[in-house]
Structures are given as C-alpha cells and as structure tokens.
Structure 1
Amino acid sequence: MIEVYIDGASTGNPGLAGAGIFIKANGAVDHFSFPLGEMTSHEAEFAALIKALIICSEKGYKTVSFRTDSKIVEDTLEKRYAKREPFKTLLNEALGHIDNFDLFFIKWIPSKNNAVADQLARKAIQMNRK
C-alpha cells in the first residue's frame, strides 16, 4: 500500500500558498514542494491533493492511502459533494483522478502526524518569493 501525506498552506486567506507531499512507497520516500501562487488555505489543501493524485498516477500506483490534516478535504471526498465554488470544481478534478485508481483511501490525521508534509508546504510558500 502506498502512503501519501498531503498538506496545503497559505500565508493569508488568500495569500501565498504551497503544497507539500510526502510519499512512502515500497521502502522508498519521495518529497515534493509546489509553490501555488496566491490562494486560500482550503484551496491549497485541494491543490496538494490533486498534485499528489497526478504524481501517484504518473508513477503507476494503483492502490493508494492518503493522509490529510484537512477535515474539509476528507469530508468533501468522503461525501463526493461540495456546495460552493471553487470547491465543486476542485472536487470534480480530484474525482477524475481518483477514479483511475483500483483502490483509493483518505484518512484525516492530526496535524502533529503530518509534520513532514507541512514542512514541505511551508518550503513551497518560500519558493513563491524567489
């Protein structure tokens, strides 16, 4: 089972944002930091999810277990429903990727258990400034 830890962060609401992704796969680990420009923290969480889904798809993973400290991302995916934009569009984009996996799981975890992805997201925010 591939374990994927994701986090999005923003300096304001909206503000400079970044996505952090930490993947544990078959004994190897990958770290990713993506600057996202300006967006809200919730949008950054969804952007981290989508970027991680794309990475996993490109690597050919078929069974993935995602971890997030964002209740909004976890709840939205579990219900497969978002009431407002931009979350409806972000959800639909994520579902388009998720449906390509044989098995997809997402679980909420406390922020303290998502420290690596959080550090990667904060690093990505700094990359916006360069």
Structure 2
Amino acid sequence: MLLSLMVMSGINSKKSPPAPLEVYTDGASRGNPGLAAYGFIFVRNNDIIFEESKTIGKTTNNTAEYYAIISALKMAQEFATESIIVYSDSELVIKQINNQYRITKPHLAQIRAELAIVEKNFTDIQFRNVPRENIFIRCCDELCNQVLDSETQA
C-alpha cells in the first residue's frame, strides 16, 4: 500500500531533464576587417527566450563569429548549466572548435582558448554547423545587421 502511494504521489518518479538550451549565433563584419557585431538567441522548446546583439569594433568576420559564441555562452550560464547545443552557420569556426580544422591564425587560437574556459561551465555542450537559411540563424543575422545599421547611422 505504501509503495503504491509513493508511486502515485510521484515520490519515486524520476523527473525528466529539461530540454537542452539551443544557442544560435552569428557574427558579421562590414569589410574584412571592418565594423563588426555579433548576435545570438536562446531557444527552448522552439521558443525564443532571449536575444542579444552588440558591436565589437573593427575586426574580421571569423573573429566576430567566435565572439558571438563566447558572448552567448557567458550569458547562457544564467539559463542553463547542463545541456547546451550551439549552432552557427560558420563552418570554419565550428570545425575549428570541434578540432576538425587546425587554427592557423594566432588571434583565433587565443579566442579559442578563451572559449575553452567558458565551455567548462556546462556539463554537456555540443557545437553544430547549420545552413545560413536556418530560421534562427537568420534571426541572429538580422540582429547583427540592425546593430551595425544603428552604429553607422549614429
């Protein structure tokens, strides 16, 4: 009787883990190097729950892509510490992060080292490349363009 009460009351039931936090990122520069920005959004259960974009001065597009990921992961610590999936349309950056491509530029190697430190704040983290046509990547691209437009009009 006691066992059936425990099961019915949920005492012995396991709680399913929360859905992973999906992090979509984009970096952009107008010129290479040029005025650059990053944008990212957090998605949980197909709903956008947070977004951010900022300019980062004059730099390359690849640097902006890395800073998008680093900035997103620093903020993501407030939303999740367990399962995170990071999506980017930058094949180069994702393959460098996943050790499929070597990093030959010293400044990118330094940024990658900074990213490795931030990664340690999560139990499970994956980095995936998606096409730029992905609806959430398009949102990140739009965030970058909006912040770059506002900077150039100021």
Q: What is aligned with 1:20?
A: 39
- CA pair 42-78 structure 1, distance change in 2 beyond 3 A: same
CA-CA distance at 1:21 after TM superposition: 0.3
> Do 1:6 and 1:20's aligned partners in 2 also have CA atoms closer than 8 Å?
yes
- 1:79 and 2:138 correspond: no
Question: Cα distance, 1:42 vs. partner?
Answer: 0.7
- TM-score (normalised: structure 2): 0.78
Larger Rg: 2
**In structure 2, C-alpha distance between the alignment counterparts of 1:50 and 1:99, rounded to whole Å:** 12
Sequence identity (%): 27
Alignment CA distance shift 1:28-1:111 (3 Å): closer
Aligned residue in 2 for 1:9: 28
Question: How many equivalent residue pairs?
Answer: 130
Stretches of structure 1 that go unaligned for 5 or more consecutive residues are none
Pick one of 54, 62, 68 that aligns with 1:48.
68
CA distance in 1, matches of 2:83, 2:125: 6
Superposition RMSD on alpha carbons, in Å? 1.6
Question: 1:38 — aligned with what?
Answer: 58
Matches within 5 A, 1:67-106: 67-79=87-99, 82-106=103-127
**What amino acid sits opposite 1:117 in the alignment?**
C
Question: CA separation in 2, counterparts of 1:122 and 1:45?
Answer: 14
Aligned partners of 1:59 and 1:48: how far apart in 2?
17
